[in-house]
Chains A and B, each alone.
Chain A
Amino acid sequence: MDSSLLLSITTFAYLLCALLYLSGVLFRYRPLLIFGSVVAAFALVIQTSGILLRWRESYQLGYGHAPLSNLYESLVFAAWAIMLIYLIFELRTKQRVLGVFPALFAFLAMAYASFSTQVDSKIQPLVPALKSNWLIAHVVTCFLGYAAFTVSCGISILYLLKKTQSDNPHPKGVLGFLPAARQLDQFNYQMIVFGFLWLSLGIITGSIWANSAWGTYWSWDPKETWSFITWLVYAALLHARNMQGWRGPRVAWLSVTGFACVLFTYFGVNFLLSGLHSYATK
């Protein structure tokens, strides 16, 4: 049994999970949703073992580093963080109908990591720039933030779908099966607050790390700048919601915009712009 087998199982489990959540909502059949949650929980356990095993394997290869060092490992961790945050959210709110998007995004991340020819899944040794205890702190905090924003984006999309029938106070069919718009707005806000806290931590740990490695805590490198842009979009959202009383569609659209910034910070910067984070492209 090696880590790549466990992570392959995870990939398909998340696909199954997304399909279960989706059909549960489409057919308005709760047992499918419960089945979806069970599969998600199992997949998360398998993935956790896969990540831990990969960590051990890197020691057996003589490299010895946390599995957070390249694009493949970060994608796997992103999927893990999305599902972890989503499942905790599900437990706390007892809402199962919002699982479609998190499971779908987790599956897409895993599938991209496993099947893309751009992504090398081999365990590689750490380059000197990454040899630091800040690696774990920085990557974990950033990805918890990204994951919360992913869940929030999923909720926002559902909110906007729901709002297409806003004239009807008791919409029938699939949309009626979703929680009330006000509740979705509230969930969305909670996720954004959580993500904002972790993104701030992620940017700050990155900044302190950069200072100890290169002697500058901020150099307007494209990755830094894009994480700052993302931070600004969510900061604008929080101010608009708390102080200007923005609710509903405007907040949902800002959240989707914020998530687009997250995606660009993660992928766009790596492939389209050059900078200090170049090791994240391989």
Chain B
Amino acid sequence: MQQKKGFLDLLIQTLSSMRLTVFLFLTLAVCSIAGTLLPQGTSLEELERHFGPSLSWWIEIIGLNDLYRTGWFRAILLLLCVNLIICTLQRLPKTLKLLQHRDEQISPEKLEKFNYHTEITIHRPLDATRTQLTEIISKAFAPVQPLSSSDAFRAVAEKGRWTRWMVYVIHFSVLVILLGALLGSVFGFKGFMNLAEGESSDEVMLAKGKNAIVLPFQIRCDDFDVSFYDTGAPKEYRSDLTIIDKGQEVFKQSIRVNDPLSYDGVTFYQASYGSILKRAKVELQDRDTGTTHQLTLPYREVVPVPGTRDEIEVMQYQENFSNFGQAAAIVLMREGQEPVGSWILIDKPEFHGNRIQNYRVKVSDVERGHYTGLQVKRDPGVWFVYIGFIVMLTGIGMTFYTSHRKLWVWASPSKGKSNATTVFVAGRTNKNSLAFEQEFNHLCARLQNDLNPKQH
């Protein structure tokens, strides 16, 4: 039992140590470096091609190809959170105590031990000095709080007490940001959808896994447009989208990169685009009979060949098929036989392989369109993250650029001189001592000047 308690104490002591914090920071840094050396999300086959099977096995086990999602990386993050929380819980009572501490025992001997202290002699009695002393310090520094005292005048003045909390604010913001990230990954999703011009859909392919989810509304792509600069560099990708909710067109909006659309908590981002075939004009020459058919084939629609029992369909289209230019995969369906298909090279009409069964196939014209690639996301945690960001920045600024400054004042009639007052002032700051030194010296010089009777 004794030993167990010893272990627990040791554990808490370790978890609350600043050494562990620094160690975890540097460990996280080193581990993160490992993740940037290998493209994340590389598949096992690709790994094996580059590194061979045994090394790939190790990479896969350690998770180097998906490092930031591995359990051990998250464990380090979690450990950092635990460290942060325990540190906070340990230090919070100390801060509270420090702030509640009243310094009743002010004496010249004590004040002389401060880093910043000074002794001023005022050629006026204490009663005449006290009010003005309080006034000047209250105005120039902070409200003076007199302490009860029988013989001498004792007081403290402080400002920036709240800045002692700022470091906790930063630490709190880290937790808020991580909470936001957690909420996003539990209650949100990320995926993509490809929409041809004119097409509408409610199905989003998820980025993780091979599942799809169905949105409670439809989105339609009315038009996609890409424009270029004179230099040939892309200028703008734009999709005109319409939201259709319960059969009603709710609203239309154009999206661009950097300018997404949000509806019902789901956001659509312009991510990619590509070409699709809308219609192909095809010339079929029956080599047995010599007859030629001119057909217009809408993409993926079965069209009968007149005067025969054959049917024909464009199944696939590629803009650049193995560097031979455009190609269409056309399938011929003949009653009682298996369908037969072939890639027809559109840009090389004389190619001898442009045939299916007894037909010679020539694509005389294509009508092309675009599809737009949309990134689709729902992230209910993002506002936590943003609030965390703001809180963190405020906290960092305040922690490093504000300080808790405190003055102690002691005043009493000078010994042996009934008409004079001796004033001791001492000061302390928890940060930025250079600036405080200036402020302190300035204030003391002012007290010396303003409290003494003007000499004409």
Q: A: which residues have CB within 8 A of B?
A: 63, 124-125, 127-129, 131-132, 134, 186, 193, 196-197, 200-201, 204, 207-208, 211-218, 220, 222, 225-226, 228-229, 232-233, 235-236, 239-240, 243-244, 261, 269, 273-274
Contacts and interface: CB of A to CB of B under 8 A. Distances in A.
Contacts of B33: 225, 229
A222 B41 CA distance: 13
B393 A201 contact: yes
A39 to B, nearest CB: 29
Contacts of B18: 239-240, 243-244
Interface in B367-404: 375-377, 379, 382, 385-386, 389, 392-393, 396-397, 400
Contacts of B40: 220
Nearest to A192: B400
Nearest 3 Cβ contacts at the A-B interface = A236-B25, A128-B257, A215-B377
B172 interface: no
A212 B258 CA distance: 6
Contacts of A226: 32, 36
Nearest to A200: B396
Interface residues of B, number: 48
Contact of A215 (B259, B269, B393): B269
18 contacts: A125-B229, A129-B258, A132-B258, A196-B400, A197-B396, A200-B392, A211-B382, A213-B258, A215-B260, A220-B40, A222-B36, A232-B28, A236-B26, A236-B29, A239-B22, A244-B18, A244-B22, A269-B36
Interface string B242-259: 000000000000001111
B271 interface: yes
A134 B68 CA distance: 26
B235 interface: yes
A193 B170 CA distance: 14
B386 A208 contact: yes
A128 B389 contact: no
Interface of B: 18-19, 21-22, 25-26, 28-29, 32-33, 35-37, 39-40, 68, 181, 190, 229, 231, 233-237, 256-260, 267, 269-271, 375-377, 379, 382, 385-386, 389, 392-393, 396-397, 400, 434
Nearest to B167: A242
A129 B256 CA distance: 9
Contacts of B385: 207, 217
A200 B258 contact: no
Nearest to B192: A215
Contacts of B29: 229, 232-233, 236, 261
A200 B396 CA distance: 9
Contacts of B377: 215-216
B366 to A, nearest CB: 27
A228 to B, nearest CB: 6
Nearest to A199: B396
A74 B269 CA distance: 27
Contacts of B434: 186
Given A215-B377, A236-B26, A269-B36, A131 B258 contact: yes
A22 B453 CA distance: 54
A28 B377 CA distance: 62
